[in-house]
Structure 1
Amino acid sequence: MQYNTTSVDEYINQLPEDRKEAIKTLRNVLINNLPHGFEEGISYGMIGYFVPLSKYPKGYHCNPKLPLPFLNLASQKNSINLYHSGIYAKKELADWFIKEYPKHCNRKLDIGKSCIRFKNIDAIPFKLIGELAKKITVNQWIDIYENNLRK
């Protein structure tokens, strides 16, 4: 689901009541754990964390006018989703997350290429998400991104 919004607070205010607290908590976890340099805003109709054009003027190869995306947080129809580009781009990170997940949550992991879906909002492993958020700095993300583009 995409919300018609230009600010993160507006996005959160449009959410169903049962999703607001979980999204607010996830947002705080991300803000408190993402390495310095990522910026927050609305990206692709979701809460996004990205490398600003001031740091990476080349922008996103699909649309160079947009900042380089890294992570998105969204309330979808049946779940809260975390889209982490690092999990998609760096197999070691995906392997780490998949191995760690059962230590933090007794629910089955629902993961796609970059999407982690939380259908039960009471079982979101916030601590693990915080650890995941710390794993890649802005400069590391730019290097990973550029290396993957060359392949």
Structure 2
Amino acid sequence: MQSSAKTIEQYLLELPEERKSVMNKLRNTILENLPNGFKEGIAYGMIGYVVPHSIYPSGYHCDPKIPLPFMSIASQKNFVALYHMGIYSKKELLDWFVSEYPKHCKTKLDMGKSCIRFKKMDDIPFELIAQLTQKVIVEDWISMYESALKR
């Protein structure tokens, strides 16, 4: 379910009532813990966190006009999703997240590549997401991204 919203405010207004508070809390958790340099905006029909062109002029290799994507959150049809490219790119980060998840959540981890799906709105591990958000700074993300491109 991609949104056609052009602003974050519009995206949040278009959410179903039962998702608004969860998405706002998820967004605020990320914003409170996001390392300096990342910028929030709408990307791929979701709320996204990117490395802006002012820091990484090359942009995203698939479309250099787009800033380098890093994280996104979205309200999908049957779940809320957190997309974190650092987890997809760095095995140590993935291993850390997978081992920490059961300490914060009663439900089984539902994950694929960079997508973490939360089907139960009252079981989203906000504290763990805060920790995950802090784990990768802009310079590290650029380094991981460039290393992956060279392979």
Task: State the TM-score, normalizing by the size of structure 1.
Answer: 0.99
Aligned twin of 1:112 = 112
Instruction: Tell me how far apart the structure 1 counterparts of residues 97 and 3 of structure 2 sit (CA, whole Å).
Output: 29
Task: Read off the aligned partner of 2:140 and give its amino acid letter.
Answer: Q
Following TM superposition, where does structure 1 have runs of at least 4 consecutive aligned residues deviating by more than 6 angstroms?
none
Instruction: Tell me how far apart the structure 1 counterparts of residues 36 and 78 of structure 2 sit (CA, whole Å).
Output: 32
Residue 3 of structure 1: how far off its partner (Å): 1.4
Instruction: Tell me how far apart the structure 1 counterparts of residues 119 and 147 of structure 2 sit (CA, whole Å).
Output: 33
CA deviation vs aligned residue, 1:68-124 (integer Å, no higher than 9, x gap): 000000000000000000000001100000000000001010000000000001000
Aligned twin of 1:6 = 6
3-state secondary structure, aligned to 1:42: strand
Aligned twin of 2:143 = 143
Aligned twin of 1:82 = 82
Aligned twin of 1:47 = 47
Instruction: Tell me how far apart the structure 2 counterparts of residues 15 and 124 of structure 1 sit (CA, whole Å).
Output: 17
Aligned twin of 2:57 = 57
Residue 9 of structure 1: how far off its partner (Å): 1.0
Aligned twin of 1:127 = 127
Instruction: Tell me how far apart the structure 1 counterparts of residues 3 and 95 of structure 2 sit (CA, whole Å).
Output: 32
3-state secondary structure, aligned to 1:141: helix
Instruction: Tell me how far apart the structure 1 counterparts of residues 84 and 3 of structure 2 sit (CA, whole Å).
Output: 20
Residue 142 of structure 1: how far off its partner (Å): 0.3
Residue 4 of structure 1: how far off its partner (Å): 1.5
Structure 2: 5+ residue stretches without partners: none
3-state secondary structure, aligned to 2:82: strand
Task: Read off the aligned partner of 1:123 and give its amino acid letter.
Answer: D
Instruction: Tell me how far apart the structure 2 counterparts of residues 39 and 58 of structure 1 sit (CA, whole Å).
Output: 16
Count the aligned residue pairs: 151
Structure 1: 5+ residue stretches without partners: none
Moved more, 2-11 or 14-23: 2-11
Aligned-pair Cα RMSD in Å: 0.4
Q: Percent identity, please.
A: 59
Aligned twin of 2:22 = 22
Task: Read off the aligned partner of 1:149 and give its amino acid letter.
Answer: L
Residue 41 of structure 1: how far off its partner (Å): 0.3
Task: Read off the aligned partner of 2:82 and give its amino acid letter.
Answer: L
3-state secondary structure, aligned to 2:18: helix
Instruction: Tell me how far apart the structure 1 counterparts of residues 9 and 116 of structure 2 sit (CA, whole Å).
Output: 22
